[in-house]
Homo-oligomer: A and B are copies of this chain.
Amino acid sequence: MDVDAAWLPAEAFRAVGRRRSLVPAGGLVDTVRRELVDACERFGGRVVREDAELVFELTEGLGEEGFALTRRDGITTVTASDERGLLYGLFHVVRLGEEAFAGDRPREEHRPAYARRMLDHWDNVAVHPVMGQVERGYSGGSLFWADGRARGDWERVRAYGRLLAACGINAVTVNNVNVHETEARLLTDRIGDVAAIADVLRPYGIRTHLSVTFAAPVVLGGPPTADPLDGAVRDWWARATDAVYGAIADFGGYVVKADSEGRPGPFAYGRSHADGANMLAAALEPYGGTVHWRAFVYDHHQDWRDRGTDRARAAYDHFTPLDGRFAKNAVLQVKHGPMDFQVREPVSPLIGAMPRTRLAVELQVTQEYTGQQRHACWLGPMWSEVLGFRPDGEVSTGRLAHELVAVSNVGDDPFWTGHPLAQANLYTFGRLAWNPAADPRAILDEWIALTHPGADDRLTAGLHTVLDGSWSTYEKYTAPLGVGFMVQPGHHYGPGVDGYEYSPWGTYHFADRDGVGVDRSTGTGTGYAGQYATPWSGLYDSPATCPDDLLLFFHHVPYTHVLPSGKTVIQHIYDTHFEGVAEVEEARRVWTGLAGLVEPARHARVAERYEEQLRGAREWRDQINSYFLRKSGVPDERGRTIY
């Protein structure tokens, strides 16, 4: 198979493959066994029945998916209470390499922070005339689907499952939340296609989920209504779900985008989103399935003239009154920020405001607004910040929500992710979902070491350099100070400062000749800041205490407003935009210097992307700077060229 090995090159298994290993048989453990057999074939070890140096054992007390590692008397032992725990333990040993076999090690226990660590694929079965095969996909076609049918490349799906297991992901939704005509039928007569994917992913501890349309009964020949309180509708869903579990016994459940951006939902019948979600939850409940109900509900027919309506408020305003009304197996899936995966947003105030509801936080691994895998932008630090946020301002090592979900960045591209360095985002998401308290930079180094076994210091340092600061770099040359959007409408790539300024989508910056930003304060603004608990509401409510990087998200300020740095807002805009481009130039220079140390095709692909990133960064810099110079009339203090 002509696909990149990503973070599982054969060489990464050298330490394991040199050992005599003992592993029980049966079920998912066979996946562990197969990994060991393959590695030993290559590196000279053996899978044995006794006298092993590496022992895998099932035992009690470690919980679902957890595992422990010890090394004593020359024997490294992985114990777990279920088979998935052994699988995760194996990949832990792979990550440790020779270190797992050097001297004694005190017992260490590992348990996932989030029980469900899920990837949503926005993959269409039939090519959508505007959105293509994969909506917001920047990595070619879909792994699962091609031109209206199952793609049937099961070796690649298997390799994908293996990569996901190695970073800890245990649930996958196989189709886009925007469910069109062809995709609707996956629920019924085309469930076999889903079952085939589930069969391939199951050995890697991954459960399969399905996006469904709320209008399924209507569009699939059931009752002429989708009213969630209608008995015939409930029966239809119960029967449909029976059939799904007949085909996939460990099916994970449904994902639904309802009453959002034109999708059908319970509003049409005067029912609440709790009514809608609970109907599906009831159908899934007998089988232990879950419905993921997306909270991305807002008015996308807003009037830009009306400064009182605020899209940022929508999810909170809409869902908090429903707290406590969702079934136990209904999960409300909330985007991490109140808008839509911008390079910088505050954490959604909905998170923390629904204590009696199961919440999943949704991140976006696919780089829709962060360079679309043509720009290097490693999102680990952003996610780490989000996952470390506590609605009450307290420090805690616990979870931010009940589950973690992300939109996949993978396609049929030979490098999986279009930009080879974007593999790091997928890996980091999985590892943070397991342990959100981990230092993202340590995860980055882990990814570097696994992906490039035997890398010398120069390569390791170079890779770390170009990725570590890349999110900050991207932020510098795009929309400033948390204001967001300023992208081209539709495809969302490249600058369009006023692209959404007079649009019905509710995404504004209100720049005029005097200042810029959205007043979301409680006094003079939309009141959004008041949706937060103390201390955040107070901090965000005043320009004096609002964090710089969110200043324009919360406040409309004059261009002459002075930031804590001592710079005015306008000078900050100019400076960061020049800096951002300089940082891309530097990253490109570093990358060029790694030629010869990285596999040539990979090096060439990344080098190409840097050309485009540099072109794009300059375009962003010049459009943003020119826009604000033309509007403010304030010249750059340093006299640089602004067009």
Query: Is A631's CB under 8 angstroms from B495's CB?
Result: no
Select one of B495, B512, B514 contacting A502, CB under 8 A: B495
Query: Is A633's CB under 8 angstroms from B513's CB?
Result: yes
Contact (A643, B305) CB under 8 Å given A512-B631, A513-B513, A513-B631 = yes
Contact (A514, B633) CB under 8 Å given A129-B129, A498-B498 = yes
User: Scoring A residues 276 to 318 as 1 if CB is less than 8 Å from chain B, else 0, what string do you get?
Assistant: 0000000000000000000000000000110000000000000
What residues on B are CB-neighbors of A305 within 8 Å?
Answer: 622, 626, 643
Contact (A512, B623) CB under 8 Å given A498-B498, A502-B495 = no
User: Scoring A residues 408 to 443 as 1 if CB is less than 8 Å from chain B, else 0, what string do you get?
Assistant: 000000000000000000000000000000000000
| 27 A-B pairs whose Cβ atoms sit less than 8 Å apart in the complex | A129-B129, A304-B623, A305-B622, A305-B626, A488-B489, A489-B489, A490-B490, A495-B502, A496-B498, A497-B498, A497-B502, A498-B498, A498-B627, A502-B619, A502-B623, A502-B627, A511-B630, A512-B629, A512-B630, A512-B631, A513-B513, A513-B630, A513-B631, A513-B632, A513-B633, A630-B631, A631-B631
Kindly provide the distance from the CB of A341 to the nearest chain B CB, expressed in whole angstroms: 22
Secondary structure call for the A interface:
loop
Least CB separation from A488: chain B residue: B489
Least CB separation from A514: chain B residue: B633
User: Scoring A residues 564 to 601 as 1 if CB is less than 8 Å from chain B, else 0, what string do you get?
Assistant: 00000000000000000000000000000000000000
What residues on B are CB-neighbors of A497 within 8 Å?
Answer: 498, 502
What residues on B are CB-neighbors of A511 within 8 Å?
Answer: 630
Least CB separation from A634: chain B residue: B513
Residues 496 to 539 of chain A near chain B (Cβ within 8 Å): 496-498, 502, 511-514
What residues on B are CB-neighbors of A512 within 8 Å?
Answer: 629-631, 633
| Count of chain A residues with a beta carbon within 8 Å of a chain B beta carbon | 26
Residues 599 to 643 of chain A near chain B (Cβ within 8 Å): 619, 622-623, 626-627, 629-633, 643
Query: Is A643's CB under 8 angstroms from B490's CB?
Result: no
Query: Is A304's CB under 8 angstroms from B643's CB?
Result: yes
A contact set with B: CB distance below 8 Å: 129, 304-305, 488-490, 495-498, 502, 511-514, 619, 622-623, 626-627, 629-633, 643
What is the bound-complex CA distance between A23 and B623, given in angstroms?
69
What is the bound-complex CA distance between A633 and B632, given in angstroms?
11
What residues on B are CB-neighbors of A623 within 8 Å?
Answer: 304, 502
- 10 closest Cβ pairs, A-B complex: A512-B630, A305-B643, A498-B498, A502-B623, A513-B513, A513-B633, A129-B129, A513-B631, A305-B622, A631-B631
Least CB separation from A511: chain B residue: B630
What residues on B are CB-neighbors of A632 within 8 Å?
Answer: 513
What is the bound-complex CA distance between A632 and B514, given in angstroms?
10
What is the bound-complex CA distance between A514 and B631, given in angstroms?
9
What residues on B are CB-neighbors of A631 within 8 Å?
Answer: 512-513, 630-631
Kindly provide the distance from the CB of A227 to the nearest chain B CB, expressed in whole angstroms: 31
Kindly provide the distance from the CB of A514 to the nearest chain B CB, expressed in whole angstroms: 7
What is the bound-complex CA distance between A633 and B627, given in angstroms?
16
What is the bound-complex CA distance between A609 and B498, given in angstroms?
28
Least CB separation from A619: chain B residue: B502
What residues on B are CB-neighbors of A496 within 8 Å?
Answer: 498, 502
Q: Which of A490, A502, A643 has the most CB of B within 10 A?
A: A502
What is the bound-complex CA distance between A630 and B627, given in angstroms?
13
What is the bound-complex CA distance between A626 and B627, given in angstroms?
16
What is the bound-complex CA distance between A619 and B302, given in angstroms?
13
Kindly provide the distance from the CB of A320 to the nearest chain B CB, expressed in whole angstroms: 30
Kindly provide the distance from the CB of A634 to the nearest chain B CB, expressed in whole angstroms: 10
Task: Give 10 new A-B contacts, CB below 8 A, not counting A490-B490, A496-B498.
Answer: A129-B129, A304-B623, A488-B489, A498-B498, A502-B626, A502-B627, A513-B630, A513-B633, A630-B631, A631-B631
Least CB separation from A632: chain B residue: B513
What is the bound-complex CA distance between A489 and B490, given in angstroms?
10
What residues on B are CB-neighbors of A129 within 8 Å?
Answer: 129
Least CB separation from A127: chain B residue: B129
Kindly provide the distance from the CB of A511 to the nearest chain B CB, expressed in whole angstroms: 7
What is the bound-complex CA distance between A567 and B623, given in angstroms?
32
What is the bound-complex CA distance between A480 and B495, given in angstroms?
25
What is the bound-complex CA distance between A511 and B497, given in angstroms?
14
What is the bound-complex CA distance between A129 and B131, given in angstroms?
11
What residues on B are CB-neighbors of A488 within 8 Å?
Answer: 489
